Amino acid sequence: MKRLPQCIALFLLFTCFAHSQTDGNAQRRDTIIDGKLKVDKRIPSIKDSIDIRSFKDDSLSLALDEFWFKELYSLEAFDSIYNDVSQLNYEEVEYPELSTDTLKARLARLNARTPFNVEYNPSLESVIKRFLKTRRNSLQNLMGLSHFYFPLFETELDKHDIPLEIKYLAIVESALKPKAKSRVGATGLWQFMFTTGKMYNLDVSSYVDERSDPIKSTEAAAKYLSKLYEIFGDWDLALAAYNSGPGNVTKAIRRSGGYENYWNIRHNLPRETAGYLPAFLATMYVFEYAEEHGFKPNKPEFNFFQTDTVHVKQMISFDHIAEVTGLNIETIQFLNPSYKLDIIPKVEGKIYTLELPLEALGVFVANEDAIYAYAKEQFEKREKPLPQFFDNDTKVTYRVKSGDYLGKIARQYSVGVNQIKQWNGLRNNNLRVGQRLTIYPRGTPSASKPAPTSSNTSTVTNTAGKKTYTVSQGDSLWSIAQKFPGVSVENIKQWNKMTGNSLKIGTVLAVSQ
């Protein structure tokens, strides 16, 4: 894939990310061997090994450490914020670290640079101090996630002439969880209901929920907020209407005797909406004055500017993509949250995209035909008798422990995340401690059969009784894994304590446990 200079690439990603795509017709494979660029103009096929030696050190996978995986799967922060907003009270909070005079001065500075009404009042002081006192850890984690999402939000909001401070609304709405779902069915970063999402062209099907797509849902939220501002001419009231609907705000104005300031009609709004704007303003204050309050957020080592998208031409699963790129499936899920079953479908008249780190995208595009052929082959194998009809000794019952997530369990048993979900009737990635999962480890009749062992594969058995393989010219982790039934890229990396995907000719790898 032809690469632009970094500064130009970042600029293009920043300005037109939502519509970007990579040329899917590329048939050239460029690899780096011994520090030199080698151009290969062959058309890749299923038999070609996918060369991922151009990866520097699988930096994205390293950046998405255990903290980020837990952030991806956990909805605790969303539940906490939802409860805070719906049950907010305004009793005085003892927090000597922030004096009333200091708060008044800071709010005045904030009020001068935002169209929202951030003037001091005792209720707002109570909410701010309560957040600082009781929600410090969750807010610090959210500040870390904000470094990933806020640049995207600001780009879309600026396109639609929306105040950039609206980015804090996504924290109050969803705790920056693309897959967050409220008790009434509102979904995604911006918590769209099904019908409202449809009004703003957010597609929802068995495979896809675009309310969870960060780019499309942000664009829809900007359009909806613009319309609400046209109606009320006030951003405070527009936010209240976003939460409870324009009708409830209009009724609250009437019942209040015609007042149009949010704080004057708050007592006539639904309970949740009454706490909505104070929670938004309190969040804005904490983020804007985070340094003054000693917050030290964990920043991700990557952001949207280090990724790009490609149009998908054929149905493919996240398992397939992870296998051929060497990425953790959690990384793919994090970057593509709108796909409900970890499968990207192919539907006539629809365009679906795959978002990947730039390095992995180069590998995907350069080997597109081979990857689609591999995916097709794997899909054709999945029409099998149901697992429950096999003998019980082929299955494992796994009890979920604290810190577990589907990707971690899948790697432990060399199976796919989708398989675990299918075997256990799971519709999402959420797990609870103590939950029992039925798993058919790779090699049992219910697990997908890998490609047969190549007849010319050269292996030996070492003194520990393990099979080993010596890396030769043209090998990649994926091509080596294909030579051994039941062995995945993750297995090889785990057995050989590898953190990246780079291979050196002559290296002896363990290929059995």
Q: Which residues are catalytic?
A: 173
Task: Point out which residues pair with 209 in neighbouring strands.
Answer: 204
Q: Would the CA dihedral through 106, 107, 109, 113 be positive or negative?
A: positive
Distance CA 378, CA 372 (A): 10
Chain centre to alpha carbon of residue 451: 31
Chain centre to alpha carbon of residue 411: 19
Reduced to 3 states (helix: H, G, I; strand: E, B; else coil), residue 510 is strand
Reduced to 3 states (helix: H, G, I; strand: E, B; else coil), residue 423 is helix
Q: What distances in angstroms separate CA 18 from CA 61, 213, 340, 343, 443, one per listed residue?
A: 23, 11, 20, 21, 41
Distance CA 6, CA 60 (A): 17
Would you give the end-to-end CA distance of the chain in angstroms?
37
Helix (H), strand (E) at residue 196: helix 194-199
Q: What distances in angstroms separate CA 161 from CA 165, 222, 359, 361, one per listed residue?
A: 12, 9, 33, 32
Nearest residue to 150 (alpha-carbon basis) of 251, 350, 299: 299
Instruction: Please give the DSSP secondary-structure letter assigned to residue 394.
Output: G
The 3-state DSSP composition of the chain as helix, strand, coil percent (nearest 5) reads: 50, 10, 40
- Tracing tokens 């009724």 back to the chain, one arrives at 251
Helix (H), strand (E) at residue 436: strand 436-439
